[in-house]
Copies of this chain bind each other. A is one copy, B any other.
Amino acid sequence: MKNGRLIVISGFSGAGKGTVVKKVVEKYGYSLSISATTRAPREGEVDGKDYHFKTVEDFKNLIDYNGFVEWTQYVENYYGTPRKFLEDEIDAGRDVILEIEVKGAMNIRAQYPDAVLIFITTRNVDILRDRLSNRGSESEEIIDKRIKRACEEAKFMGEYDFVVVNDDVDECVDTVNSIIISQKCRKEENEKLIEEIQKDFEAKA
């Protein structure tokens, strides 16, 4: 059987990446990798759905046992991508979506050169700022911080295979799915099929 594919999705906070990932998974039935973290659950967050919530001790133990494909420490919290789920899904021939920040994405690419990297962006910075402001829940200071962080992340956009502008969520969802589907048809992914058909012709034509 053919292996599944890793689909890495990054994007600016405020570009709608979270919503897009959620809808792509719901609408098209891809597997979704759930990150592990040591930060406390926020209200409404469900263990095993939003994150796998871990103690620092458990997390560090998993690091020691090579349990993460990649992990990082951000402020005082740990975040990581569990290895087992990812590899089981790929082995079972299922495509897995990972929503992950840029450095984690570069880390994944280094280990899985066949991973498909998709970056979701707004068309420009003003739209990003508007979307962050319209959430209404965040202070100007936090918005500035997110914009500064996005500025750093933007430096990695050229490392991605695909860049999708999120002007409209539903269109963006379908475009991400189109990218995933198109990858299966790439010549490089079908060398074996091509060879089989060519041999079949040699035998039967």
Chain A interfacial positions (CB closer than 8 Å to B): 118, 121, 123-126, 129, 147-148, 150-151, 154-155, 157-158, 160-165, 174-175, 177-179, 181-183, 185-187, 190-191, 193-194, 196-198, 200-205
Bound state CA distance, A173 and B160, in angstroms? 27
Task: Let me know if A187 and B158 touch, CB within 8 A.
Answer: yes
Residues on B with C-beta less than 8 A from A154 are 194, 197-198, 201
Task: Let me know if A200 and B125 touch, CB within 8 A.
Answer: yes
In the assembled complex, the CB of A6 is this many whole angstroms from the nearest CB of chain B, namely 17
Residues on B with C-beta less than 8 A from A196 are 124
Task: Let me know if B147 and A204 touch, CB within 8 A.
Answer: yes
**Residue of A154, A164, A177 with highest tally of chain B CB at under 10 A:** A154
Q: A148-B205, A200-B124 are in contact. Are A193 and B162 (CB under 8 A)?
A: no
Bound state CA distance, A148 and B183, in angstroms? 30
